[in-house]
Structure 1
Amino acid sequence: MRHLGSFDYIIVGAGSAGCVLANRLSEDPDVSILVLEAGGKDDYIWIHIPVGYLYCMGNPRTDWGYSTAPEAGLNGRTLAYPRGRVLGGCSAINGMIYMRGQASDYDHWRQLGLAGWGWDDILPYFKRGEDHYAWEDEFHGRGGGCRVEEQRLSWEILDAFRDACEEVGIPKTKDFNRGDNFGSGYFQVTQRGGVRWTAAKGFLKPAMKRANVEVLTKAQVSRIRMEDGRAVGLDLKLGGEDASVDAAGEILLSSGSIGSPQLLELSGIGNPQVLSKHGIEVAVENTSVGENLQDHLQIRTIFKVKNTRTLNQLASNIFGKAKIALEYAAKRSGPMSMAPSQLGVFAKSDPAFETANVEYHVQPLSLDRFGEPLHSFPAITASVCNLRPESRGHIHITSADAADHPEIKPNYLSTENDRRVAADSIRLTRKIMSAEALSKYEPVEYLPGSRVHTDDDLAKAAGDIGTTIFHPVGTCRMGADDGSVVDERLRVRGVAGLRVVDASVMPTITSGNTAAPTMMIAEKAASMIREDRRVGG
């Protein structure tokens, strides 16, 4: 077995969180840092071209290739569950949307007893990591590793959708990231000059120039070694060969909401009933590991339109595709610079909600599912998701082998309230599409179909057309209670020298896309880790 030596900090996973950790912790020159990434280098061209997500999701070069268990709420369907497996992690294959969520999300965390996690507490960490193209004020920062820019395209039909939203009481906004994201606007994205900007580019690559940082790819960790209640090292496969490494200080799990609970369970930290099924000896009993899975289920409503252009027509033949490619080559603009979703809308499915409880991702295109051809007719997709679902699922190992994918069971639409929000969301979409601002485009509902009206039928239709929007969180829940997986400083309960730093620690899901909150968590974690080291905690 190859021994890799000893490091002060070992970071497991070079995704959005791991890249930030490597950058911030390596600012202290007297510590040594090892970053272990199970995937490969980010040298695949389609990572960097924004539309390349179509070629990265489902591609074993960049994606773990997970899928869910059959979902009762989705009428027995399974879903592909993309997760980045490359330097940069999900930031290399995601939708590039920069979205923090709502102030009330984080104030709720503080109300749960998590000191230091309220909106006023975490806003400085959002600002620290941000490099905004235009704003530097009380809400936005410049000079951080996360570049945020406007999209480099516009669509008449999307502008009309914004006007329609305004007609039904949803105002226009220029900034979703000031604590209240109610309104409609074009998403700002993690790009620089029409090129995807990943966490690896913004945080990890600068850190790799420092002498105290080492990064290894094709390094899949299989077990955390523990002695006398402390995490002391890792066993792993490096390029397919057995290897080990020792931790002089701390091990930081940043493998995401699937990888982090999986590794805890493989190491004997978890529910004894789960571990015993796979012959794993219990080191630390914690029945919360792998539980509390939350995700945003998007209901992909589609409307045929007339008298306007959509991507369905523009990319319908080789000449149109060539024109699109030439525009990107010359200007880094146009459809190849597109995020998967361009227009965002945050709204209330019912006026009784205090803050926006649903989010729209509106696209000037339609298709049966990502990776399949665009429809032959002009259309738009107005995907809508419940921002704060009550449904809870789990992620648990299926064997004692780290190479075997865990079971992913989100339990979508498993509560009455989630089904009601789904039905009301479709009704709200129909109301928007019926507004005067869209009348000249003569919209006709294609999915789920205008014949579907009752609550039960709409909920069933949501199960037929709903799909993940790739926001799994919560499986290593942070909490003030002894039953949580990590405490408010992200330390794993019952094990010294071990923390989890990624989206899995969220006690409740944020009201929006989860990449920016994940980087914020890592920014705050790095500050806490450095502080604890200084005081000897």
Structure 2
Amino acid sequence: MLSPITLAFTSSFLLSFTSGVRILPNTNGALSLLDSYDYIIVGAGIGGLVVANRLSENASVSVLVIESGDIDDRAEDISIPGNVGLEDPRRYEVKLEMTPQEFLDGETRVFTQGNVVGGSTIVNGLVWTRGSVADFDAWEHLGNPGWGWMGLLPYFRKPAIDEHGLHGPVEVGYPKYFYNQSHNFLSGIQKLGIPANEDPNNGNATGACIVPSSMTAKNQSRSDARTAYLDPVLERPNLHLITGHAVARILYGKGGKNSSSSTYIPSFATNQTIDTIIATCKKEVILAAGSIFSPVLLQISGIGPAKLLKSLGVDVAIDLPGVGSNLQDHPTLEPVYDSWDIVGSTRDAVREEYLANRTGPWTAPMVNAIALPALSWITERVQEVLDDAANAKSTLPSSYDATLREGYAAQKTELLSLLARTDTPAYEVMSTSWGQLAISAMQPFSRGTVLANSSSIFENSQPIIDPRFCSHPIDCELLLIGLEFNNRLIQTPPMAALKPTPPPGFGIEEAQNRTALDETMRRKITTGFHLSGTTSMLPLAYGGVVDPSLRVYGTRNLRIVDAGVIPLIPGAHIQAAIYAIGEKAADIIKNENSGTLPSMNPRPGEPQDSQQASPENSSKP
């Protein structure tokens, strides 16, 4: 067992918590923390709550979860599917700003993500799609044994009930109401030769469908990580949760920063003016702060690209170039087609029906229907597009070292293979309740970075987030093809019956001028809210940050369990994949801590042991 570290905190530190949370201020206003914990988890999103739940199943194991947000109040704007996208972002979200997008229009983009117990599952669009077999087999090809489709399938099944889940805590199902335009959309899509897919979670995601959602069948309300993984186990005395606290730094434990047996513990506080609390960890620290803040926390703790750390005035503990690199997202356009025939009832009437009967439009999330076409289904220029994708110059960030460039080359090989298939989508179109036909490029070739802006999590805490949309030109080309597909779609008889009017700049006649359409499009591209890859599970030779056991290279007791570990973004909405990652991570952690210490990961520059997959040894079909 790893040696514990002494716990220190200020007795005057006052907190407020929602009833039922295990950690409460005592009568003196001090925290009722244990002297030490076996596991300390940073972040209470999907990964953090799944791992906390599973590890605390063992009553002899103590678990502390530290979350910067609060617990939501289950108000109507959060719990009701029909209110998706209408919540007040000031309550449970943090606003983040991207750097000016030089390959688009030179302007910034603002986006939000969940800052609450349950993470973005409290505010997301509920869409539940796993992705295709080939998406995850690509993870294995990139040097991650056990992370292909068959290795993940038991963990896709474990979190959910329905849509092929076994008896998991997350409910997945369908609303009791479908917008009429969803049927027009599906009929129009099929008129263009896109087949229906009655089972989008069977390993072949391509096709059009009424999309499953993370929602309860009985109450027709949101099913999220908090209600699924935390609420049922709040009474476990060995599971503690602290809200309203940001982890300030991961500290070095016994062994020192230059030792090959380095261990890590977190310190945390509410803001930089209050003394930090140091939490004692006997076994492992698990980062689950998300693809933005997990890499930032590593960087300010001395783990990351040496050049960046030195510029921040941070001592370099582990020079790990991949921390904060390999950022991926699904670039998205959100055109709204006016004159769309939407719900005729008033909002008050819709609300009354929902509250009385759990029926009506409020049971339906903003996205009822989606289509995930393969490239060959939306263009006859397949080989030309593939050639452009293979040969076009991709501008990688100047900060990428040789390992990251080697890793990108391997990813690019996988992407070209995925794009050529008919069982993996190149593009998604989502039909919303208010006339939006949102489109996303599902196999993006562009890569970006997330970098700390300061050595303090509190001072200038806005990270430098640069997804570098369309830094590989094929991503914008795929979106242009998607817009052209939209214009064909709205001319089909089922869709034409809705009398949709394209937004300015995206009209059928305007689309004839591809140069002008491209310029208009680049002003509108934004995030798909699927940012991932910034602490990638890849071999060191590919710029990886964690190994297939999700342990950070060069550390003994530090793992990451969130979207950042995704090595290659799947052609799907990613919440189902993150739940699966959390479940698999929990099993790995349990197995590796059942009586013996985990093996030490190689420090960057050291040879990898026989259990660490190398890209040369990974098999391909």
| TM-score normalised per structure 1 | 0.91
Q: 1:30 aligns with which of 56, 60, 67?
A: 60
Task: Please give the alpha-carbon distance, in whole angstroms, between the structure 2 residues aligned to 1:295 and 1:8.
Answer: 34
Distance apart, 1:142 and its partner CA: 3.2
SS at match of 2:450: strand
The answer (yes or no) to whether the contact 2:487–2:507 under 8 Å persists in 1 is: no
Aligned residue number for residue 271 of structure 1: 305
The CA distance in 2 between the partners of 1:152 and 1:461, in whole Å, is: 38
CA contact (8 A) 1:15 1:199 kept: yes
The answer (yes or no) to whether the contact 2:251–2:267 under 8 Å persists in 1 is yes
**Cα distance in 2 for residues equivalent to 1:390 and 1:255:** 25
The change in CA–CA distance for 1:55 and 1:433 in structure 2 (over 3 A counts) is: closer
2:499 paired with 1:442: yes
TM-superposed CA distance for 1:68, in Å, is 1.1
User: In the alignment, which of 410, 428, 431 is matched to residue 362 of structure 1?
Assistant: 431
Query: What whole-Å deviation, never above 9, does each CA across 1:435-465 have from its counterpart, x for those lacking one?
Result: 2222333333225233133443333222222
Asked if 1:424 corresponds to 2:424, the answer is no
Aligned with 1:17: secondary structure? helix
Which residue of 245, 263, 267 corresponds with 1:231?
A: 263
CA apart distance, 1:302:
2.7
1:230-281 Cα offsets, whole Å, 9 max, x none, are 2332111048552110110000000110010011011010011211221111
Quick one: which amino acid aligns to residue 463 of structure 1?
R
**Distance in 1, Cα, partners of 2:100 & 2:212:** 34
Sort the Cα spacing of 1:429 and 1:417 in 2 relative to 1 into closer, same or farther, 3 A.
same
Taking structure 1 as reference, are residues 181 and 328 closer, same or farther at Cα in structure 2, changes over 3 Å only? same
Partner of 2:95: 65
SS in 1 for 2:93: coil
Separation in structure 1 between the aligned mates of residue 55 and residue 101 of structure 2, nearest angstrom: 40
Distance 2:512 2:43 in 1: 46
Q: For 1:489 and 1:439, how far apart are their aligned partners in 2? A: 51
**Whole-Å Cα distance in 1 between the matches of residues 130 and 300 of structure 2?**
32
CA distance in structure 2 between the aligned counterparts of 1:333 and 1:394, rounded to whole angstroms? 44
Q: Answer yes or no: is the 8 Å Cα contact 1:33–1:212 preserved in 2.
A: yes
Match of 1:145 in 2: 169
Does residue 336 of structure 2 align to residue 323 of structure 1? no
Q: How does 1:223-302 map to 2 (within 5 A)?
A: 223-227=249-253, 228=255, 229-238=261-270, 242-302=276-336
State the distance in 1 between where 2:305 and 2:338 align. 49
Cα separation, 2, equivalents of 1:437 and 1:335: 21
Q: Is 1:124 aligned to 2:154, yes or no?
A: yes
Residue 470 (structure 1) shift: 0.7
**Cα RMSD for the two superposed structures:** 1.8
Instruction: Say whether the 8 Å CA contact 1:226–1:233 is kept in structure 2.
Output: yes
Partner of residue 362 from structure 2, selected from 336, 343, 350: 336
What stretches of structure 1 move > 6 A for 4+ residues in a row? Answer: none
Structure 2 stretches of 5 or more lacking a match? 1-7, 11-32, 256-260, 383-419, 599-621
Q: State the alpha-carbon separation in 1 of the partners of residues 249 and 487 from structure 2.
A: 50
The DSSP-based 3-state class of the residue aligned with 1:64 is: strand
- Mapped partners of 2:73, 2:376: distance in 1: 46
Alignment counterpart, residue 158 of structure 1, candidates 176, 182, 187: 182
Give aligned-pair identity as a percent: 30
**Distance in 2 of aligned mates of 1:91 and 1:419:** 29
Are 1:49 and 2:49 an aligned pair? no
Q: Closer, same or farther in 2 for the Cα pair 1:325/1:461, shift >3 Å?
A: same
Q: Give a deviation string over 1:100-128, Cα, whole Å, max 9, x none.
A: 11111100011112100010110110101
**Cα separation, 2, equivalents of 1:434 and 1:516:** 34
> Does residue 391 in structure 1 map to residue 446 in structure 2?
yes
Q: Residues 6 and 203 from structure 1, CA distance in 2 versus in 1: closer, same or farther, beyond 3 angstroms?
A: same
- 1:187 and 2:211 equivalent? yes
Partner of 2:550: 490
Q: What does residue 466 of structure 2 align with?
A: 409
Deviates more, 1:15-24 or 1:322-331: 322-331
Paired AA for residue 449 in structure 1: G
What residue in structure 2 maps to residue 370 of structure 1? none
Choose 193-202 or 239-248, whichever is displaced more: 239-248
3-state DSSP of counterpart to 2:278: strand
In structure 2, what is the equivalent of residue 213 of structure 1?
239
Separation of aligned partners in 2, 1:57 and 1:514: 23
Q: If you compute each CA radius of gyration, which structure gives the higher value, 1 or 2?
A: 2
TM-score by length of 2: 0.79
| SS state at 1:301 partner | coil
Offset, 1:386: 0.5
